Amino acid sequence: MPQLCFTDDHHQDSVWRHILRLLGPAPLHSVVSKEEVLSFVQSLNACREEIAGPSCMANHFQLYLNSPPRHPWNRSAAAVFADNYISYHKLMPSADLIDSLVEDCLKQIKTLKSAYSCSLHSGAEMESYKKKTRRDGQKVMVSIIIHNNSFGF
């Protein structure tokens, strides 16, 4: 079986194309409902492990884009993605490969979440939304700098 080369420039593109393949022709419409997410989260045990199975299946792949990319639903979907990616590309499974693919998927979910958020706003709302997002990001950076300076980092 071929092994994935992590220095390959085409790796992120391959991950992106595989996510889109799983989501189908309308990726921003393959969003899970709040009720489904609540049911899934309530099924997790105290250690946040899946008891009732994954959040979705490869043949019905859904993401929760109304939350942070690392929401438990999306983490579970990223694991489903990694398993499907490995079998689709006939790769030799390993813990490092699975962890890497899960991380790559979560990064791409962040991109999809941004596109989804943009699709919910009109032109004027979008400009206001971008300014707010930029301001919020700047506030976080300022607080990190202040925190680091106060502890002598």
The pLDDT tens digits of the residues spanning 31-83 come to 788 899 999 999 888 878 888 889 999 999 999 988 889 999 999 999 999 99
Q: What is the DSSP letter of 144?
A: H
Residue 45's pLDDT is what?
84
d(CA 83, CA 102): 9
Residue 89's pLDDT is what?
94
pTM over cut 0.75: no
57-61, 110-114, 124-128: least confident range? 124-128
Residue 46's pLDDT is what?
81
CA distances from 142 to 8, 22, 116, 123 (A): 35, 39, 27, 29
Residue 6's pLDDT is what?
46
